[in-house]
Amino acid sequence: MWKTIFRRLLLMIPQIIILSILIFIIAEFMPGDPFTGMIDPNVDPAQIDALREQFGLNDPLPVKYVRWVGNALQGDFGRSFNYKTDVLNVIGDRLGNTVRLSLLSTVLTYLIALPLGIFSGRYNDTLFDKGVIIYNFVSFAVPTFVLALLMVFVFGYNLGWFPSRGSIDVQASGFWEESWSRLYHLILPSITTAILGTTSIIQFLRTEIIDAKTSDYVKTARSKGVPIDKVYTRHIFRNASLPIASGFGYTIVNLLTGSIFIERIFNYSGMGNLFIESILSRDYSVIFVLVLFYGILGLIGTLLSDLILMTVDPRIRID
Amino acid sequence: MAVERNLLEINNLKTGFRFGEEYHNAVDGVSLTLKKNEILAIVGESGCGKSTLATSIMGLHDHKNTKITGEILYKDLNLIDLNEKLYNRIRGNDIGMIFQDPLGSLNPLMTIYKQIAEALVYHSDLNEKQIRARVLELLNQVGIPRPEQIMKSYPHELSGGMRQRVVIAIALANKPPIIIADEPTTALDVTIQAQILDLMIDIQNETGSGIILITHDLGVVAQTADRVAVMYAGQIVEEAPVEELFANPKHPYTRSLLNSIPHELEEGEELHVIHGTVPSLQKLPRKGDRFRPRIPWLPDEAFDEDPELTEVAPNHKVRGNSWKHFYFEGEEN
């Protein structure tokens, strides 16, 4: 087990290097640079060129790359052109918000999806099950932005139950007031995310349970005289949870990535929002670190998923 | 000589599956008895209802989509009337079942030990230590080498034959008087098949259980069974002691089955096959002789309106009278 983890971590190093080079090249192809937007008749073009030179934007690609890697290894990931501060500071501010939002969304997703999936799988073809299938179709078919806008419109604007934008009330002061304000701002975006995130979990659980019900090992278990409730808990649910377990590594990693749509529509200051803003303003240093961060998270997610699967499914144990 | 009491008695059992609003019987009026110390083989093609018969005895069908009528009498109980809770006391304790696919019939996520132990915990008050001892004893009984080690392994780590031995160990766990084996050798290599059959005969000699052996393999029947019931389209068409059946087959279906065993063929000689296929449940003719469409060369007079199972010799029952007129195609008498 530990050997596998070590080997996989070692394998990540070349993957990360290749990834960083790719991102660097792609970033170079993007038209414009941080100073493109500043061109106005009152600024001398020569001055902008001087700035470009000063920030090293005119250097050839390999030179830029090597310089960046050298700095990064010393913990300096560059400065954001937009925010005039260290990239890590910019990201750090947003990461907390995103983790809070994703954590609540994920908890809500599983709170909704697990019972629905389990009951509709166990009591399939009942009225309840049909209701769940309809819910699933709808939540799968509705695009994120449509539902998010609808939630903002109905619960934020028309009914006014929840704040529809931002992550905290600026007037909130003191620990408890701030925490409450944060939670209050999380409710709408996290419910929206949860509703959309339940589809695959419910669908997997339901079909896997229905499949497992007719499997031979369930017949064997029932032939032993095992009561049906125990057949479900000991045999069916455990087998049916395998596909969900295999995706759980990504779920953990997704806590850190944030959703562009949700954060944008609820004007929530998180990673997703930062990402799209940096792209629009060509804030290279932020984009670069973010994409690299997402890439590394993806690698860790695969590793986590494999490890989780290895612990729940004995057939996948390697050592 | 004292009359031996039947271990299990099945009377006019009908198991119907629901298609839309209608129920179609996969088992259609089967009556059988099983005695102590006896291996009763049930033979027939795929789809003839033999597995449904087995799962009906075990009560494994869901009540929503299945209708079971008739009697399955065991110890003065009609199993059909039992509720789930009572049935669970019978399952595993009084009737053990062995399934066809030894990989599929073991839970891939549970160790062998846990799966055998599970059969014991619901039927006994054994403590942890006693259960362990019993599991070891069972593994030894079914001929598994290094049981201490195998106990801790998962199904995928064992070979097919070993897995089937584990499945048999599970069925034997509570020393049930009745064992139902549904095609126990079908998924195994021929060499392993013989070992598993020997094992089953050994077990039967040791425990004196009555075994219902469901198979489509007449070779298996000849090796192991005491009595044979041949099933076609949900009904028993012939029933006889094994020597009698092989020496003196009567029903056209039995004779066709025996005739299609490929033995001592001349070079270039074609295999004998039975015309057509077993009809699907919905298309099954419910009136007249059900085997008639597959022996179309016999004249109409050969078939009964409503063929009944009748005793034609001591302990030898045949359905209908078509056998009196039967001949193989091209061998007109």
Q: Do B92 and A225 touch (CB under 8 A)?
A: yes
Taking Cα atoms as reference points, which of A268, A302, A93, A292 lies closest to residue A184? Answer: A268
Domain boundaries, chain A: 91-284
Tell me if B105 and A219 make a contact (CB, 8 A cut-off): yes
- Cα angle B258, B260, B265; round to 5: 110
- Calculate how close chain B gets to A298, using CA atoms only, in Å: 28
pLDDT in tens, chain A (319 residues): 788 888 888 998 999 889 888 888 887 777 666 666 555 667 777 777 777 777 667 777 888 888 888 888 887 777 777 777 888 888 888 888 888 888 999 999 999 999 999 999 999 889 999 999 999 999 999 988 888 888 888 888 888 787 777 777 777 777 788 888 888 888 898 998 899 889 989 999 999 999 998 899 999 999 999 999 999 999 999 999 888 888 888 888 877 877 888 888 888 888 888 888 888 887 878 888 888 888 888 888 888 888 888 888 888 876 5
**pLDDT, tens digit (0-9, with 9 covering 90-100), for B178-225:** 999 998 888 788 888 888 888 888 888 888 899 999 998 888 898 889
Whether chain A has a CB inside 8 Å of the CB on B85: the answer is yes
Q: Which of A217, A223, A225 sits opposite B107 (nearest CB)?
A: A217
Facing residue for A216 by CB, picked from B104, B156, B170: B104
Q: Which residue in A247, A245, A246, A257 sits closest to A297, CA to CA? A: A257
If DSSP states are collapsed to H, E and C, what string results for chain B?
CCCCCEEEEEEEEEEEEEECCEEEEEEEEEEEEEECCCEEEEECCCCCCHHHHHHHHHCCCCCCCEEEEEEEEECCEEHHHCCHHHHHHHECCCEEEECCCCCCCCCCCCCHHHHHHHHHHCCCCCCHHHHHHHHHHHHHHCCCCCHHHHCCCCHHHCCHHHHHHHHHHHHHCCCCCEEEEECCCCCCCHHHHHHHHHHHHHHHHHHCCEEEEEECCHHHHHHHCCEEEEEECCEEEEEEEHHHHHHCCCCHHHHHHHHCCCCCCCCCCCCCCCCCCCCCHHHCCCCCCCCHHHCCCCCHHHCCCCCCEEEEECCEEEECCHHHHCCCCCCCC
Task: Say if CB A116 and CB A202 are below 8 A apart.
Answer: yes
Please give the pLDDT value at position B1: 42
Distance from CA of B317 to the nearest CA of A (A): 31
CA distance A10 to chain B (A): 30
Interchain pair A235, B96: CB under 8 A: no
CB contact under 8 A, B105 and A220: yes
From A292, A298, A296, select the one nearest A250 (Cα to Cα): A298
Whether residue B118 and residue A224 make contact (CB cut-off 8 A), yes or no, is: yes
Nearest CB among A216, A226, A314 relative to B118 is that of A226
pLDDT score for B223: 86
Structure tokens at A184: 């209050």
Residue B96 C-alpha, separation from nearest chain A C-alpha, in angstroms: 7
Of B95, B106, B122, the CB nearest to A220: B106
Inter-residue contact B26 to B13 (CB < 8 Å): no
CATH architecture of A91-284: Orthogonal Bundle (1.10)
The answer to whether the CB atoms of B156 and A219 lie below 8 A apart is no
CA distance B97 to chain A (A): 6
**Residue B170 and residue A217: Cβ atoms within 8 Å?**
no
Contact B108 A222 (CB under 8 A): no
Question: pTM of the predicted model, to two decimals?
Answer: 0.82
Contacts of B88 in chain A (CB under 8 A): 225-227
Alpha carbon B328 to its chain centroid, in Å, reads: 28
| Chain A contact for B104 (CB, 8 A cutoff) | yes
The values of phi and psi at residue A63, to 5°, are -60, -45
B101 interfacial to chain A (CB closer than 8 Å): yes
Q: Per the CB < 8 Å rule, is A227 touching B108?
A: no
In chain A, alpha helices (H): 2-29, 45-54, 61-73, 87-122, 127-141, 144-151, 175-213, 216-223, 228-230, 237-240, 242-257, 260-265, 271-280, 284-312
ipTM of the complex: 0.87
For residue A226, which residues of chain B lie inside 8 Å, CB to CB? 88, 92, 118, 122
Report B:44-73 residues touching A (Cβ under 8 A).
55, 58, 60
